[in-house]
Chain A
Amino acid sequence: MPQTLRVIYSAFRMAMLHWIADPQWVIPNVIAPFVFTFVALTLFKEATGPFGLYAVLGGGMMGMWGNTLYSSGFAIEFEKWQGTLEEVVATPSNLLHVIAGKSISNALFGLTNMAAILLIASLVFRVPLDVANPILFALSIVLTLISVSALGLIFASAFVLTRSAQVFTNGLEFPIYVISGSMFPIGLLPFWVHPASYILGPTWGIEAIRIAAGQENVSLTFWLNVGVMLLITLAYVALAAFLFKKVETKSRRDGTLGQA
Chain B
Amino acid sequence: MLELSPQHGQESSDKAIVAEHLCKVFNVTKGILRRTKTQVVAVKDVSFEVNYGELFGLVGPNGAGKTTTIKLLTTMLIPTSGNATVLGLDIQKDVTKIRERIGIVLGGERGLYTRVSAIDNLRYFADLYGVPVNIQKKRIKELLQFMGLWDRARDRVETYSKGMKQRLHLARGLIHDPQLIFMDEPTIGLDPEIAKETRNMIKELVEKGKTVLLTTHYMFEADELCKRVAIIRNGEIVALDTPSGLKKYVMDASVVEVEGFGITEKEVARFREVPEVLAVSADLSENKQVLKIQTPKGSEIIAEVQEILKNSRIYDIKIKEPTLEDAYLRLVEGSAK
List A residues at the B interface (Cβ < 8 Å). Answer: 3, 6-7, 9-11, 13-14, 17-18, 21-22, 82-84, 86-93, 98, 249, 252-255, 257
Contacts and interface: CB of A to CB of B under 8 A. Distances in A.
B169 to A, nearest CB: 9
Interface in B52-91: 68, 71, 74-78
A249 B92 CA distance: 11
A9 B124 CA distance: 10
Contacts of A92: 96-97, 99-100, 128-130
Interface of B: 24, 26-27, 68, 71, 74-78, 96-97, 99-100, 104, 106, 108, 110-116, 120, 123-125, 127-130, 156, 172
A82 B115 CA distance: 10
A82 B124 contact: no
A14 B75 contact: no
Given A10-B124, A14-B124, A92-B130, A21 B156 contact: yes
A80 to B, nearest CB: 10
7 contacts: A17-B115, A17-B116, A18-B115, A87-B111, A90-B99, A91-B125, A92-B100
A25 to B, nearest CB: 13
Contact of A89 (B76, B120, B127, B130): B76
B127 A6 contact: yes
B78 A7 contact: no
Query: What is the predominant secondary structure among interface residues of chain A facing chain B?
Result: helix
Given A7-B128, A92-B100, A92-B129, A257 B115 contact: no
A7 B124 CA distance: 8
Interface centre among B75, B116, B124 (most CB of A within 10 A): B124
Contacts of A254: 26-27
Given A21-B115, A87-B104, 18 more contacts: A18-B115, A22-B115, A83-B110, A83-B111, A83-B112, A86-B71, A87-B106, A87-B111, A89-B76, A90-B99, A91-B129, A92-B97, A93-B128, A93-B130, A252-B75, A252-B76, A255-B71, A257-B76
A223 B97 CA distance: 44
Contact of B120 (A6, A11, A17, A88): A17
